Structure 1
Amino acid sequence: MATLVLLRHARSTANGSGVLAGRSPGVTLDPSGQRQAAALVDRLADVPLAEIVCSPLTRCQDTVRPLALARGLDVRTEDRLSEVDYGEWTGRELKTLLKEPLWTVVQQHPSAAVFPDGEGLAAVQARSVAAVRAHDGRITAKHGAEAVWLLCSHGDVIKSILADALGQHLDTFQRIVVDPASVSVVRYTDTRPFVLRVNDTGGELASIVPRKPEPAESAGDATIGGSTGDTRTDPPTRSG
């Protein structure tokens, strides 16, 4: 199966505002986020991308636009990767939500959390993981098992996908940190996913590109004793 680069959208006008934006319209990238989006072109320069799949929300579309233009790739929009539908919580200040009884459930038992007139976090994980598996299978069939593709989505959505890949219960997903413009990487196989990166905000990415396995190797086998690391030469230093 293919290798997935999970990209959280760059910093938005709602990040740091103290308001739960959710699916509110009009949320775009702030100046810092625009710089983060532009920097992805160089940061991913050593990673061949077969496809880009993206949440329909503006802040995600804006994040991948410079990269897609630089690569000459179309962006495939996927509704199942959209932000959590927070229902009545959408647009409310976080300091008021802290007082809601549901807040403790979201923090301590998220698999049971269902937002009023919105969706539950378990449903978010189910729809997002189903989307990942469907696109990964499609891309593998089209581009081969060594293909790399990029998915741009939202913090809680990516955390739920990572929890699934790590084999963790959804109730532990609040232990995972996913910052704006961060990259996490999962390599799927027929038997299990391998998590290569989590919340990477500036490291080299050339080593995530899969090599073709030896004939006797199984892509789903873990290395006994641990990986020996990437043996390819370090990528050249890039300016910008």
Structure 2
Amino acid sequence: MATVLLVRHGRTTANATGLLAGRTTGVILDDLGRDQAARTGDRIAAVPVVGVVSSPLERCAETARAIVDRQQVAPSSSVEPDLTECDYGQWQGRRLSDLATEHLWPIVQSQPSAVVFPGGESMAGMQARSVAAIRRHDAAVEAEHGPEAVWVAVSHGDVIKSILADALGMHLDVFQRLEVGPASVSAVSYGASRPRVWATNTDAGDLSWLSHDIRSGDAPVGGGAGKAGTDSPTPRIIT
């Protein structure tokens, strides 16, 4: 089973000022976001990845370049429209502090499966198209490169949270329990019987174990022996 590293883009000026950028063009990484992307690229450099797939928006493309540029052998890179940001419709470009006063806000927090953004898409639709894209790319990677292959998908916070919720078997209505910070790395393997979530929302720590510790699709009874083959600290996992 191949393994996908789900990477959120680094911080943008919109993130820092509390604006919901959505699909607005021209939103790029700020200085901190570029540093975050570089550190994430350095972390992933310990793992030979076979491909990097990105949302078409600039902030994800910048983050993807930071990952590709740090690989010893340049992986293939491509753009996947179905990994783009949620279409927030009339919410796009507004301040989060103002949106928090809207009648739809508490529904976004507690029942996202029922949310359709005014003039935009539903959160359920966002999850359906992003999960389908990840599973489609993952199957293609494994068919071409084998079950030990590792690849990267660079996308957005809500999109990645929805993909992780699917992999964890969580209903979309509880996906707000997950946190996905800027430039964080999460890891999922899709096996024949079930997905396995190796890590979520990591922003520090060694990732070289991904090169040799991903094996069978079966879960070890009793929890197994853990990661082996590296003396570096294990990744910090935040859920």
TM-score by length of 1: 0.92
Write out per-residue CA displacement over residues 116-144 of structure 1, whole angstroms, 9 at most, x where no aligned residue. Answer: 01000000000000001100000000000
Query: Per the alignment, do residues 171 and 70 of structure 1 end up closer, same or farther by CA in structure 2, a change over 3 Å counting?
Result: same
Partner of 1:201: 203
**Mapping for residues 61-80 of structure 1, pairs under 5 Å:** 61-71=61-71, 72-80=74-82
Partner of 1:216: none
How far apart are 1:212 and its partner, in Å?
7.2
Partner of 1:27: 27
How far apart are 1:38 and its partner, in Å?
1.8
* 1:106 aligns to 2:117 (yes or no): no
* One-letter amino acid of the structure 1 residue matched with residue 144 of structure 2: K
Gaps of 5+ in 1: 214-218
Query: Per the alignment, do residues 232 and 224 of structure 1 end up closer, same or farther by CA in structure 2, a change over 3 Å counting?
Result: same
**Mapping for residues 80-229 of structure 1, pairs under 5 Å:** 80-211=82-213, 213=215, 219-229=216-226
* One-letter amino acid of the structure 1 residue matched with residue 154 of structure 2: C
Q: Name which of structure 1's ranges 85-94 and 224-233 shifts more when overlaid on structure 2.
A: 224-233
- Structure 2 CA distance for aligned equivalents of residues 224 and 66 of structure 1: 38
Partner of 2:53: 53
- Structure 1 CA distance for aligned equivalents of residues 86 and 140 of structure 2: 25
Q: Is the 8 A contact 1:54 1:76 kept in 2?
A: yes
Q: Is the 8 A contact 1:46 1:235 kept in 2?
A: no
In terms of Rg, which structure is larger? 1
What is the CA RMSD across the aligned residues, in angstroms?
1.4
- Percent identity at matched positions? 53
Write out per-residue CA displacement over residues 141-190 of structure 1, whole angstroms, 9 at most, x where no aligned residue. Answer: 00001100000000000000000000000001000000001000001111
Q: Is the 8 A contact 2:209 2:230 kept in 1?
A: no
User: Helix, strand or coil for the counterpart of 2:192?
Assistant: coil
Equivalent pairs counted in the alignment come to 231
Q: Name which of structure 1's ranges 127-136 and 43-52 shifts more when overlaid on structure 2.
A: 43-52
- Structure 1 CA distance for aligned equivalents of residues 78 and 210 of structure 2: 22
Q: Is the 8 A contact 2:213 2:227 kept in 1?
A: no
